[in-house]
Structures are given as C-alpha cells and as structure tokens.
Structure 1
Amino acid sequence: MGKVSTFSPAQQAENTSSKIVVALERLSEAFRVLLWQEATQYGLSPIQIQVLTFLLHYPEEKRTVTSLALYFNMTKATISDAVKSLEQKNYLVRKPSETDTRSHSLHLLKEGRAIAKKVEHFAAPLQDAVATSPLKEQGVLLDQLMQLIYQLNQEEVITHQPMCFNCQHYTEKKGNYCTLLKISLKQANLRVDCPSFETRED
C-alpha cells in the first residue's frame, strides 16, 4: 500500500506532522492571496511586486537577475521576463556592471521606487497576526521555522538560504552564537536573511 496522503483528513486526524504541513499550506495560501490582491490593484504580477520590493531594500551587488532567481527559487528566464515587463513600465533600468561588462545591476526609477513603497506592505496582515503572540513565543516559532527551512535547503528542495544556520559565523558551541558579532543569539535574534552572511566552509 502506498503512503497515505498528507491531505487526507483521515491521515491528518492521526498524524500531527500532516496537520502541521497542511497548516503551513494554509499560511502559504494566505501569502498568495495577499500578494495577488496587491498585484491586481496595481496592475502587476506577484513576482513583479516581489522584485520591486527586493530592489527597494538590497544593495547593488545583489540587484541582479541571477541573485533574484536564487533568492526567489525561480529560473533566470522567469525573473528576466518580470524585469523586462518592469522596464517597459519605466519602473527600473539595467546598468552595466563596472567590474563585469557581461553583468547588469537593476535600479529603480522614481516611479518604480514610489510603487515599490506602496506594494511592499502586502504581507502586513500576516505580520500583524504573528505580532499578537508574546515575543518569546515568536522566537520559538522563528527557530522552528528556520530549522524546517534549513532542512529543506540541505535536501535541496529550496535554494541557498543566507540564514544563521548556514553561516560561517554561526556556532552552537555556546548555544546560538555569532562569532562575527561576538554575541549569543536568543531565538528571536536569529536571522533568516543576514547582510553579514558568509557561506559555511565544509
């Protein structure tokens, strides 16, 4: 007999991990709904909103098609299509790299920056819901979610994740500890996306 589906109500009734997976699916649906609502309002696709938001906050060296494809776990072709559409809307421009003529960085134009600032808050209802829990509980949840993300990353289900558990500076010898910042990290201090991240050397 094959493995019982996680999405079978009978399986969920007897299996806690199945219920957790379905709960995560519900949350991903909420994220998609919020993203689509924002996209429809501004005549954009969901990935275009995510690209605009990324470009608003990340440094120039990461504002490339390659970095975006890695970050969003999508193909370069998919990201390139989104970027081309945003170029046509006069929301961004490509600029040749000063160090590599084959590479281009992406830069928001005035209208692109303005629209990015409007759409970047699409996930606010989710954040507001999470914020109703005490900070300690949020830290526990963050730790558990990051452990799950780390495991899926190790199994190559999702691409490279610039998070504490993957970082050269992270160690568990003193609990959660950052050797770069030289501080112990409480669960709530763990970072999903760290600007000081360096890939761990195996």
Structure 2
Amino acid sequence: MTKESTFNPEHQADNTASKVVAALERLSEAFRVLLWHEAKQHGLSPIQVQILTFLLHYPEKLKTVTHLASHFNMTKATISDAIKTLEAKDLLKRKADVYDNRSHTLLLTKAGKVIAKKVEKFAHPMQGSVNAIPPEKQAVLLEQLMDLIHDLNHQLIITPQRMCFNCQFYEQKGKTQHYCHLIRTPLRAGDLRLDCPEFESKEEE
C-alpha cells in the first residue's frame, strides 16, 4: 500500500509528523533563499559562501577539501571546483602540508576574510526569529533537532556531525539527562553542541 504524501495538505491535517516534515522543508527553503540572495550580491555561489564562512571560523586542521566535502555532504570534486573559483578571485590560498605535498590546508586571504565577514551575515534574519523564542523553548528545540540529525546520521543520509550525540565523551543517563565525560559534568539541553572543538568520534575509542 502506497503511503500518503507528506506534502498532501489533506493528509497533513491529521498527521503531526507530516506537518513537522513540511515545516522543516519550508525552513530549508528560507535558508536557501537567504543564502542565494547573499551569494548573488557578491558574485559567488551558495557553496562558495559556505566555504568562506567555514574557513573564517574553524581550526586549521579542519580546513581541507576532505573535511569540507564531509561537512557539507558534497563530493570532493564539487568542493575542489568551488575552491578553484575562490582561488581565482584571490579569496583563498593553499598551504602545502610539510609532510605531504599532495595535501593542502585552505586559508583565507586578506580579501577573503573581508568578504567572509560580510557574507556570513546571511543567516541573521533566521537568527532573529530564533532569538524571539523563549530560551527554555530554544533549548528544547535544539535537543529535538539534534535528535533528528543524529537519526539521519545513522541512516547515512547525511555524514555524521561533530556533535555531542556522536562523541565518545557523551553519555545519555536515563531518558533525559546528558553527560560529558571530558568536562565531567551533566549538560542541560541548551549546553549541547552541534559542532564541538573537542569532539572525538566514538569510532576512535
């Protein structure tokens, strides 16, 4: 028997899960619109904006084609093409690995940092909407979204994220309590991290 479509309004009326999925799809559209609008203003593509923003904030050890491809769920070829364009625009440069000339770290140029600080503001409207939600509800929403992301990781729909639920230091105690063994303290829902600098994969245990 064929399942009802998530996007059928009549089906949605009596199916909360379908309404949640449809709402998430609307939010993804909003994100794409904001990203495209910002990218066009600077003659960039959406993924180029995302790469510049990533390189502005993340540690040098993660500034590689391999990690960018994993982070954005894209092929290395797609990321490499975007990087070549950014290089041609003098927005980033490559730093060869001392021990492996085939490996490079990607660094923003001075001009690249200026542009990155401008384009990263594309998410401000969405941030404003989230800020309007009471803090306690933000924490609950964060926890629920991370549960969804974690499940999608297990389904191999998106690559595993560097978040608490995938980290070897994380432990869920009972149904609701979160605990970090690195800092040896319980975590509130609002303390959970979607991308943690101290993340270590459970596979590396």
Q: Indicate the residue corresponding to 1:131 in structure 2.
A: 131
Structure 1 stretches (4+) deviating beyond 4 angstroms?
Answer: none
Q: Does 1:122 align with 2:122?
A: yes
Q: One-letter code of the match for 2:69?
A: A
Q: Does 1:78 align with 2:69?
A: no
Q: Indicate the residue corresponding to 2:166 in structure 1.
A: 166
1:45-100 Cα deviation digits (max 9, x unpaired): 00000000000011111000000000000000110010000000000111111232
Q: One-letter code of the match for 2:64?
A: T
Cα deviation, residue 133, structure 1: 1.0
Q: One-letter code of the match for 1:136?
A: E
Match for residue 179 of structure 1 among 178, 181, 189: 181
Q: One-letter code of the match for 2:186?
A: S
1:19-57 Cα deviation digits (max 9, x unpaired): 000000000000000000000111100000000000001
Q: One-letter code of the match for 2:181?
A: T
Cα distance between partner residues in 2 of 1:133 and 1:99:
49
Cα distance between partner residues in 2 of 1:153 and 1:41:
33
Q: Indicate the residue corresponding to 2:65 in structure 1.
A: 65
Counterpart secondary structure, 1:176: strand
Q: Indicate the residue corresponding to 1:20 in structure 2.
A: 20
CA contact (8 A) 2:150 2:160 kept: no
Counterpart secondary structure, 1:122: helix
Query: Gaps spanning 5+ residues in structure 1: where?
Result: none
Cα distance between partner residues in 2 of 1:100 and 1:196:
25
- TM-score scaled by length of structure 1: 0.97
Q: Indicate the residue corresponding to 1:197 in structure 2.
A: 199
Q: Indicate the residue corresponding to 1:31 in structure 2.
A: 31
Q: Indicate the residue corresponding to 1:105 in structure 2.
A: 105
Cα distance between partner residues in 1 of 2:91 and 2:100:
24
RMSD: 1.1
Query: Gaps spanning 5+ residues in structure 2: where?
Result: none
Q: One-letter code of the match for 1:143?
A: E
Identity of aligned residues (%): 61
